[in-house]
Homo-oligomer: A and B are copies of this chain.
Amino acid sequence: MSEVKFEFTNHLEITGVKGLPEISEGDDLTSLFFDALEENGLGLEDGDVIIFTSKILSKSEGRVIALAKVKPGSEAERIAKETGKDPKIVQLILNETKEILRIARNIIIVETHHGFVCANAGIDESNVEVGKAVLLPEDPQSSVSRLRQEIEARSGKLVSVLTSDTFGRAFRDGVTGICIGVSGIPAVLDRRGEQDRFGKIARITKEAVADEVCAAANLVIGEFSEGIPVAIVRGLRLMQHDSDIKDVLFLKGNDLFR
């Protein structure tokens, strides 16, 4: 892992980017993003952090499945009965799953092939045509790295690109924005070894900054009539050349709730 450059900031601005069209497979997200920036009279600056919802990445990458074409197997049929879910959706969830953690009414908590622990493997039927479901991007880490390269090439600015989803949590109700791919800022900012204001070495000092940025962005990202699938966070002074979302995922043995 490369060195993290970090300066403390005390002012951030978060702006939702409106005006992107409904995204289809093959759409050039980078071009559509720059078109929307222009429409909104927005520009980019060095250090900007750009957050794309996973849903528009998924749509541009063809991760939209027509349910009519899904043939549920016997395990999917069994879990569908147990959960009350559509067997076709259950089959899609199983296809994306490394391990099932919990099954309850209308919900299947899994670890996806990417290593994300979430409900229903992140598969979602909202904001897509009736009869279709959207899977998470196949490799969101690669997607954001590519988007970052394209956006930096076109703008001439050094930016970060993240992709966010909304996951539920253990112990607390409701979902929050969470990061599933990060290029530019670190996934986790490790401040171990720094002293507190009393000269002691501080104890808990790994901050999941990429998740905090996606939670912040989610306050301006609107999945309903707002239709705001991209946000820009300006003012963070954080950079890690080779950041990777894997850095925030617990190794299974370190997770007290697995």
Contact = CB atoms under 8 A, between A and B. Distances in A.
Nearest to A227: B197
Given A197-B227, A212-B216, A250-B173, A14 B12 contact: yes
B219 A212 contact: yes
B171 A170 contact: yes
Nearest to A222: B8
Nearest to A171: B117
Contacts of A219: 9, 12, 209, 212-213, 216, 236
Contact of A215 (B8, B215, B256): B215
Interface stretch (A25-33, A64-72, A122-130, A139-147): A122-130
A3 interface: no
A49 to B, nearest CB: 10
B220 A12 contact: yes
A32 B208 CA distance: 30
Interface string A219-258: 1101111111000000010000000000111100011111
Interface stretch (A74-82, A90-98, A150-158, A198-206): A198-206
A162 to B, nearest CB: 13
Nearest to A18: B10
A163 interface: no
B209 A249 contact: no
B102 A257 contact: yes
A257 B257 contact: yes
Contacts of A178: 172
Nearest to A119: B204
Contacts of A126: 196, 200, 202-204
Interface of A: 8-16, 18, 22, 102, 104, 107, 109, 117, 119, 124-130, 166, 168-178, 187-189, 191, 194-198, 200, 202-204, 206-209, 211-213, 215-216, 218-220, 222-228, 236, 247-250, 254-258
12 contacts: A22-B197, A125-B200, A126-B200, A126-B202, A170-B256, A171-B250, A173-B247, A173-B254, A174-B208, A176-B207, A213-B219, A219-B236
Given A169-B170, A195-B225, 7 more contacts: A10-B228, A11-B14, A117-B171, A128-B198, A171-B249, A173-B250, A202-B223
